[in-house]
Amino acid sequence: MDVAPPRSRYRLVGQPLLYAISVFASLGVFLFGYDQGVMSGIITGPYFKSYFNNPGSIEVGTMVAVLELGALATSIAAGRVGDVIGRKGTLFTGALVFTIGGAIQSFTTGFYVMIVGRIVSGLGVGLLSTIVPIYQSEISPPNHRGALACMEFTGNIAGYASSVWVDYFCSYIKSDLSWRIPLLMQCVIGAILAGGSLVMPESPRWLVDTDNDAAGMRVIVDLHGGDPTNLLAQAEFQEIKDGVMLEREAGEGRGYGVMWRKYKRRVLLAMSSQAFAQLNGINVISYYAPSVFEEAGWLGRDAILMTGINSIVYLLSTVPPWYLVDRWGRRFILLSGAVVMGVSLAFTGWWMYIDVPATPKAVVACVIIFNAGFGYSWGPIPWLYPPEIMPLSFRAKGVSISTATNWAFNFIVGETTPYLQEVITWRLYPMHAFYCTCSFILVYFLYPETKGVPLEEMDAVFGEEERLDYESERASLMSNARSVDRQSTGSTPQPKVKAPSERGWVSRLLYRNDRSSYQPIQDTDE
C-alpha cells in the first residue's frame, strides 16, 4: 500500500457515518418528492384558482409539468458536472438552485413568474435526482446497497406525503397563504440540504478516479471504522484503484459515444427502468390525486384528505423493500409490482366506467393499492438499478441519461394527464395498466439480477469480461467483518466476522449470511 492516510478527521466513523450520509442524501430525494406532491393539493384550492384566474387544463398541466423540463436539462448535464466538481459539489449546487426556485414560486406575481420558478426548481431537481443515487451507490456495500437505496426512496415518498398534508392543513387558511406557505417550505428544506452537503465526505470512488488517493483512502478508512491499518479498507482502496487504472489503460476515452458503444445494453436497461416508472402511471396519481378523487366523486377538501390518507399508505409501502430487496432481488420485486399496479389501474378505470354509488370508495381503495404496489417496486428499484449496472468510468453519464429519461416521460405524463382526464376519462387508467404489462414482459426477458454483486464485478453479470475475484467490496463500507484477527503465527490475517448478537439492530435486520451467486450472461443470451 503506497498511500498512508492521516488520522481520521470525521467525528463519525463506520456505520454511524454511513447512516448519517444516507440521511442527508435522502434530503435530496425528499426535496423532489415534496416538489412533485405540493402542486397536487394547491391547484384545486379556491385561492390558487382565483389568483391565477381559473387556469384551464393546459395551463395547470404546464405549471405542474414544466418542472420536468428544467430537470431534464440538468439531469443530462449532471453526468459531466458530477465528474468535474464531484458528487458532493453537485449535491450542494442542486440544493442551492432548488432553494432559489422555491423562493421564486413562493413569491410569484403571476402565471409566468410561477413558470420561471418551476423551471429553476427543476434545474435543481435534475442535479439532485441524478447525483443522489450515484453518491449512495458509491458509498454502499453490495449486500446492503439495495436496502440503503430503498431507504433513500422512502425519503422521497416522505417528501411527497409531507407536501400533501401541508397542503391539507394550509387549505384552512383563508388567503393566498394557503398555497404560498406550502411552496415556501421547499426553501427551508433546500437550505438544510445545502448546509448539510458541505460537511458530508466526498465519494471515495470519485476521489480515487480523480487521483486524490489520500483523500479517497481517508474516506474509506472512516467508513470502515477509522482504523488506517484496517486490511479491508486497504483492499477496497486497491480494488477501486486497480479498476480506475484498468479503464485508463484501455485508452478508449470516457465520452457518451464510447459509453454507448461499450455499454449499450446497460444504458438501454437503465433508461427503460426509468421510462416505465413513469409510464406505469404513478404521476397520474402523484401530481393529480385530488383531481382523480374529484373525478371519482370526492369534492374539495375531501379530495385532498383522501390524497393524504393515500400518501400514508404509500409511505408505509416503501419500508418492506428495505428488508426484501437484498433477499428477493430486483427482478422479483419489479415483476410482482407490475402485476399489482396493472390490476389496480384496470379496476380504477372499470369503477369509473360503471359509475355507481360505491365508485368513490372503490377508486380510493384501488388507488391506495396501486400506490402501495409502486412504493414497493417501481418506485425504489429504478433509482437503484442504473447506478448499479453502470461502470465507474461511465456511472455519472449513464445515470444522467437514465434520469433524463425519467424526467422526459415525467413531463409527458404530467403535461398530458389533465387533458386526457377530460378527453378519454376512465380509459386513461387501463391505458397505464397496459404499460404495466409491457414492463412485466421487459423485466422478465431482459433484466439480469444484480443483488449482492459488487459494483466492480458487474461486468461478469453482463458477460463482458472474466469475473475479478476481489474481496474488498464483498465486505466493504458497512461490512460486518471490520475487525481483523491478527495471529501471532505469521499466517495471513483473515477478517473476523462479528456474530449476529454483536451487531447493531439495523445490521441484524439487513444482514444476510449467504452472498448471492450469479453467472455471467453468455453471448447466446444477448
pLDDT band with cut points at 50, 70 and 90 for residue 288: low
The alpha carbon torsion through 250, 256, 261, 264 (nearest 10 deg) reads 120
User: Look-up: residue for cell 393566498?
Assistant: 176
| Other C-beta atoms lying within 10 Å of the C-beta of residue 54 | 11
Which of 168, 154, 124, 155 is CA-nearest to residue 27? Answer: 155
Same domain, 161 and 292: no
pLDDT band with cut points at 50, 70 and 90 for residue 11: low
Is there a domain that residue 100 lies in?
yes
Same domain, 299 and 408: yes
pLDDT band with cut points at 50, 70 and 90 for residue 459: confident
CA 302 to chain centre: 30
**b/e 159-180 (16+ beta carbons within 10 angstroms → b):** bbbbbbbbbbebbeeeeeebbb
Same domain, 281 and 142: no
User: Look-up: residue for cell 384552512?
Assistant: 172
pLDDT band with cut points at 50, 70 and 90 for residue 296: low
Between CA 2 and CA 179 the distance in angstroms is: 58
Between CA 26 and CA 132 the distance in angstroms is: 8
Around 219, how many Cα atoms within 13 Å sit in the side-chain half-sphere? 21
CATH number of the domain that residue 83 is part of: 1.20.1250.20
Same domain, 174 and 300: no
Between CA 458 and CA 481 the distance in angstroms is: 22
Residue type (1 letter), 387: P
Same domain, 321 and 181: no
Is it the case that residue 209 has pLDDT exceeding 80?
yes
pTM over 0.75: no
CA 518 to chain centre: 25
pLDDT digits (tens, 9 = 90+) for 24-58: 777 888 887 888 778 877 887 889 999 999 888 78
Average pLDDT over residues 122-129: 89
Residue 465 pLDDT? 55
Examine the fold and report which residue of 186, 201, 216 is the final residue of a domain before the chain moves on.
Answer: 201
Mean pLDDT is highest, among 71-80, 111-120, 239-248, for 111-120
Is there a domain that residue 36 lies in?
yes
Assess contact for 386 and 273: CB atoms under 8 A. Answer: yes
Between CA 129 and CA 193 the distance in angstroms is: 13
Ramachandran angles phi, psi of 230, nearest 5°: -60, 120
Is there a domain that residue 457 lies in?
yes
Between CA 135 and CA 145 the distance in angstroms is: 11
Same domain, 309 and 167: no
Domain count, the chain: 2
Average pLDDT over residues 286-301: 69
- How far is CA 2 from each of CA 10, 214, 243, rounded to the nearest angstrom? 22, 10, 16
> What residue numbers bound the domain in which 331 lies?
261-466
The chain-wide mean pLDDT, for the chain, equals 80
- Residue 242's contacts (CB-CB under 8 Å, 6 or more residues apart) are none
The alpha carbon torsion through 42, 43, 45, 46 (nearest 10 deg) reads 140
Is there a domain that residue 233 lies in?
no
Is it the case that residue 295 has pLDDT exceeding 80?
no
Residue 252 pLDDT? 67
Which of 288, 322, 48, 307 is CA-nearest to residue 178? Answer: 48
Residue 464 pLDDT? 64
Which contiguous run of DSSP H or E holds residue 376? helix 359-376
Between CA 491 and CA 487 the distance in angstroms is: 7
pLDDT digits (tens, 9 = 90+) for 59-96: 887 888 788 888 888 988 887 888 889 989 999 999 99
Is there a domain that residue 252 lies in?
no
Examine the fold and report which residue of 417, 434, 466 is the final residue of a domain before the chain moves on.
Answer: 466
Can you name the residues that pair with 485 across neighbouring β-strands?
Answer: 494
pLDDT digits (tens, 9 = 90+) for 342-400: 999 999 999 989 888 888 888 888 888 998 999 999 999 998 899 889 887 888 889 88
Same domain, 192 and 277: no
Is it the case that residue 313 has pLDDT exceeding 60?
yes
Same domain, 159 and 308: no
Is it the case that residue 517 has pLDDT exceeding 80?
no
Average pLDDT over residues 266-286: 88
pLDDT band with cut points at 50, 70 and 90 for residue 498: very low
Same domain, 67 and 176: yes
CA 226 to chain centre: 29
Can you name the residues that pair with 496 across neighbouring β-strands?
Answer: 483
Same domain, 189 and 48: yes
Is it the case that residue 330 has pLDDT exceeding 80?
yes
- How far is CA 415 from each of CA 130, 246, 389, 459, 484, rounded to the nearest angstrom? 22, 45, 31, 38, 56
Is there a domain that residue 136 lies in?
yes
Examine the fold and report which residue of 152, 177, 201 is the final residue of a domain before the chain moves on.
Answer: 201
Is there a domain that residue 293 lies in?
yes
Is there a domain that residue 397 lies in?
yes
Between CA 232 and CA 209 the distance in angstroms is: 19
Same domain, 146 and 285: no
Average pLDDT over residues 151-159: 85
Burial class of 155 by CB neighbour count within 10 A (0 to 12, 13 to 18, 19+): buried
Between CA 382 and CA 330 the distance in angstroms is: 9
Same domain, 152 and 284: no
Least confident of 283-297, 436-450, 482-496: 482-496
Residue 287 pLDDT? 61
Average pLDDT over residues 313-326: 89
The alpha carbon torsion through 324, 327, 328, 330 (nearest 10 deg) reads 80
pLDDT band with cut points at 50, 70 and 90 for residue 499: very low
Around 184, how many Cα atoms within 13 Å sit in the side-chain half-sphere? 10
Average pLDDT over residues 308-313: 84
Average pLDDT over residues 238-247: 83
Is it the case that residue 191 has pLDDT exceeding 60?
yes
**DSSP letter at 500?**
G
Residue 1 pLDDT? 47
